[in-house]
Amino acid sequence: MRTLGSVAIVGAGQVGTMVGSALLEAGPALGITSVALYDADPQAAAASVALGGGDLVLPDPASVLQAQVVVLAIPVTEILAWLEEFGPRLREGGALLDTGSSKAAVVAAMARFVPEGVHAIGGHPMAGNEASGPSAAIPGALSEALFVLSPCRPDREALEIATALVAACGARPLVVEAPDHDRLVARTSHLPHLVASALAAVAAEVGDDLPLTQALAGTGFRSTTRLAASDSKMVAAFVSANRRQVEAALREFRRELDRLELALESGPGALEEVLGAGRAAHALVLGRA
């Protein structure tokens, strides 16, 4: 079994803390000697270590480069900036994995800035929630979760190292090419963030009726707007990085809204038909058809 050695995680938020705690727990079996954390906010890094997200805090961003495996758990725009600044300085024979929710821009930057002697690969753990910060990390959230791996170039060793790391987290690796990943998550993840935000904004535009709106905001509103509570900087980063696919998804969504509006004007029968199609699509996407 491959040994991972020293691991450094850039970003001590929810995802970084979840990955770090999982690697610490699995460390001895995979030869992980340390899990170090760096965050631009030293207090966040210290809080993550206190929660078991790592065993030490790194003092500066350059110190990350000494690790054998580097994991980038920061917003996508920050990942891109990190790759440009530090990618060329990664150690020969080391490994690099990110956890961003958009992949095409990230793997393109990896291919451009990371030397071929470094085993780099894109990643996206399909876990987490709308909360942020190290305290939002849910113990065991990565267990059995899907963890997408998107190669930036042909590199069997990069895939082997990333697969070992994913297995150490208890997650299930799935290799998906970056363009396919971005096209699909634009509709299953990125668009829902925008829709939740818009729905919350519409519900808030009630003027003096806000107290009554708050009282009537039931489980349907709460579940469909849950993502609106997400960190806006993080969401803006991965949505912007996947702009073209998200724009296409928005156009498709507008067409569905138009269909619903026309059906509403036509009466209950037409509306039932459109809603029935949506119900069938929901079952199909979730494998319940």
Strands 146-151 and 172-175: parallel
Tokens of 78: 């920050």
- How far is residue 41's CA from residue 173's CA, in Å, rounded to a whole number? 30
Q: What is the pLDDT of residue 27?
A: 73
Burial category of 75 from C-beta neighbours within 10 Å (exposed 0-12, middle 13-18, buried 19 and up) = buried
pLDDT at 133 over 90: no
Of residues 20, 18, 1, 23, the one with CA closest to residue 9: 20
- Please say whether the beta carbons of 122 and 151 come within 8 A: yes
Return the SS3 of 99: coil
Per-residue pLDDT for 197 more than 70? yes
Over residues 57-67, the mean pLDDT reads: 95
Please answer whether residues 8 and 70 qualify as being in contact, where contact means their C-beta atoms are separated by less than 8 angstroms.
yes
In DSSP terms, which residues pair with 7 in a beta bridge? 35, 69
- CA 181 to chain CA mean position, Å: 12
Cα-based torsion angle of the residue sequence 251, 257, 261, 267 in order, rounded to the nearest 10 degrees? 130
Summarize the confidence of residues 273-277 as an average pLDDT.
Answer: 97
CA distances to 20, 50, 66, 120, 253 from 151, in Å = 22, 33, 23, 8, 30
The tens digit of pLDDT for each residue in 220-242 reads 999 999 999 999 999 999 999 99
pLDDT range class, residue 140, cuts 50, 70, 90: confident
Q: Are 44 and 107 within 8 A, CB to CB?
A: no
The pLDDT assigned to 1 comes to 52
Task: Give the pLDDT band (50/70/90) at residue 147.
Answer: very high
Q: What is the pLDDT of residues 199-225, one digit of tens each?
A: 999 999 988 899 999 999 999 999 999
pLDDT of 8 above 70: yes
pLDDT digits (tens, 9 = 90+) for 82-101: 999 999 999 999 999 999 99
